[in-house]
Each structure stands twice: as C-alpha cells, then as structure tokens.
C-alpha cells in the first residue's frame, strides 16, 4: 500500500514539473513577452475532511484558507507555490486535549508547488500540485508567542503591542507529522479592475498518507479533504 502511494506521488510530482517545462518549450516567445506574469492570491471557504479510518479527523467540516504566488509562463500555462490549511470546526487541535482520542482534530497545512492550465480565451483553471502535508499533534501555549493577530495589530500601529516584550500569546508546535501529498482542482476566474485583479471559485481535492505518530496511539492514516473556496488575485 505504501509502495503504491509512493509511486502515485512520484508520478504526480513528475506531471507537475513537466507541465510548465513543456509550456516553455512550446511558447518561449509568449512566456517572455507576457505583460503581467506574476499574481498573488488569497482564498477562503469551507472544507470537508474525509480522512480514511482510523483518522480522528474523519467526517468533520472546517475552514479552508490559502495564500499563493504564481507565475504565468504564457497565456495557457502557469506555475507557483501555495500555502494552505484545513481547520476543523469541531474537536481540539492537539493530542490528549479532550476526554477521548476521538476529540483530536488537528489542523492540516500544506506547502505545495503546482502547475496550472489556463485556456487563454476563458477563465477556466485546471491545477495539479505536489508537496508537504503537515499536522501538529503536540503543542504548548507560549505567553510571549507571536500570532497572526499580533501581526495585524502591529500593522494597525497598536501602541500596547509595541510596548510589550513579546506577542500576546500563541500556540507553539512541539511535534508534528509530515507526509508527501498532492492536490487537484478546477476553478474559474472573472477579471476585475481592467485586468489588474480577479475573483473566482475553486473546488479542490487534497490527499496525503501520514505515518504513525511517535508517542501517540494514532495509527497511520490517509488524509483526504475537499475544499470549496472563493479567491481574490492581484495580477
């Protein structure tokens, strides 16, 4: 089973790398002459975790969020990096945080490279990605830790935060599980503001096979999630 999953991951990685390289070979002039090759995007929406048993995160709804940086090689092909997460609405995010093991529902994050097909005469987006899937199973609260809320407060010029000797507090991960994973997605974008921005929707399926976590009773399991998100891109 593990050997078969490794072969699938390897084939997916080759496909992700081959798509943009093939595009460069076919349309080198378009890739060099494209006016706005880079884009920065954010996405938010809902997710459904359907991890394979015995994962405690199976059958949970959650929040999906992502940030991506992409580069259009030509009008039809693009590649980029995506950092995203699936955060379950129920359960608790670290091991032994509830009355039973079934209360454990970690937040899954991913850092993937992707290749994307973008037909030049439509807003259709077909994507395949490959990278690292991660979840934390042991963590602690750091009173001086830095969080996203601290970053926002600092940007808003919060005097109390600037005078403090650290952040307002944040969870720090002590032990995590990492695995190779992949995703496929289909989406559609609509241009805004004379082509300098776009909004769209995307349906994404994510998968990774995590090994047994040392120091816990959590066995190896297959992580599976489906996400429906709305995206805003600056390009």
At 53-73, the pLDDT tens digits run: 767 677 889 999 999 999 999
Asked if pLDDT for residue 23 goes beyond 90, the answer is: no
Residue 173 lies in a domain: no
Query: How is residue 48 annotated by DSSP?
Result: E
Which ranges of the chain does DSSP label H, i.e. alpha helix? 2-26, 28-33, 148-155, 159-163
Residue 190 lies in a domain: yes
Which CATH number goes with the domain that contains 44?
Answer: 2.40.160
Asked if pLDDT for residue 32 goes beyond 50, the answer is: no
Query: Could you check whether the bond before residue 34 is cis, i.e. omega within 30 degrees of 0?
Result: no
List, in order, residues 6 or more apart from 174 with CB less than 8 Å away: 136, 138, 139, 140
Residue 145 lies in a domain: no
pLDDT at residue number 2: 43
Quote the number of domains for the chain: 1
Residue 154 lies in a domain: no
Q: How much is the average pLDDT of 117-138?
A: 92
β pairing state of 77-88 and 170-192: unpaired
Residue 164 lies in a domain: no
| Closest to 5 in 3D by CA, of 235, 176, 145, 181 | 181
CB atoms within 10 A of CB 155: 8
Residue 62 lies in a domain: yes
| Mean pLDDT over the full length of the chain | 80
Domain hosting 36: range is 2-135+184-234
Asked if pLDDT for residue 171 goes beyond 50, the answer is: yes
Residue 20 lies in a domain: yes
C-beta of residue 27 within 8 angstroms of C-beta of residue 190: no
Sheet strands (E) in the chain:
38-49, 60-72, 77-88, 108-117, 124-142, 170-192, 197-210, 221-234
C-beta of residue 36 within 8 angstroms of C-beta of residue 235: yes
Residue 115 lies in a domain: yes
């Amino acid at each position: 089973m593990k050997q078969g999953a490794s072969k699938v991951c390897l084939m997916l990685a080759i496909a992700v790398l081959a798509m943009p390289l093939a595009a460069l070979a076919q349309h080198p002039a378009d890739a060099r002459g494209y006016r706005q090759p880079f884009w920065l995007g954010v996405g938010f929406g809902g997710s459904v975790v359907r991890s394979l048993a015995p994962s405690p995160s199976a059958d949970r709804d959650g929040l999906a969020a992502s940030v991506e940086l992409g580069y259009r090689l030509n009008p039809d092909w693009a590649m980029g990096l995506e950092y995203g997460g699936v955060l379950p609405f129920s359960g608790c995010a670290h091991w032994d945080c509830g009355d039973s093991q079934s209360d454990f529902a970690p937040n899954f994050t991913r850092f993937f490279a992707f290749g994307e097909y973008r037909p030049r005469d439509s807003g259709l987006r077909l994507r395949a990605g490959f990278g690292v899937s991660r979840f934390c199973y042991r963590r602690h609260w750091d009173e001086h830790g830095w969080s996203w809320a601290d970053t926002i407060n600092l940007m808003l010029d919060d005097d109390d935060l600037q005078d403090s000797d650290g952040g307002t507090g944040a969870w720090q991960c002590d032990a995590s599980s990492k695995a190779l994973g992949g995703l496929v997605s289909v989406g559609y974008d609509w241009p805004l503001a004379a082509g300098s921005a776009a909004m769209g929707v995307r349906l994404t399926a994510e998968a990774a096979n995590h090994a047994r976590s040392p120091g816990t009773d959590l066995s190896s399991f297959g992580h599976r999630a489906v996400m429906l998100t709305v995206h805003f891109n600056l390009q």
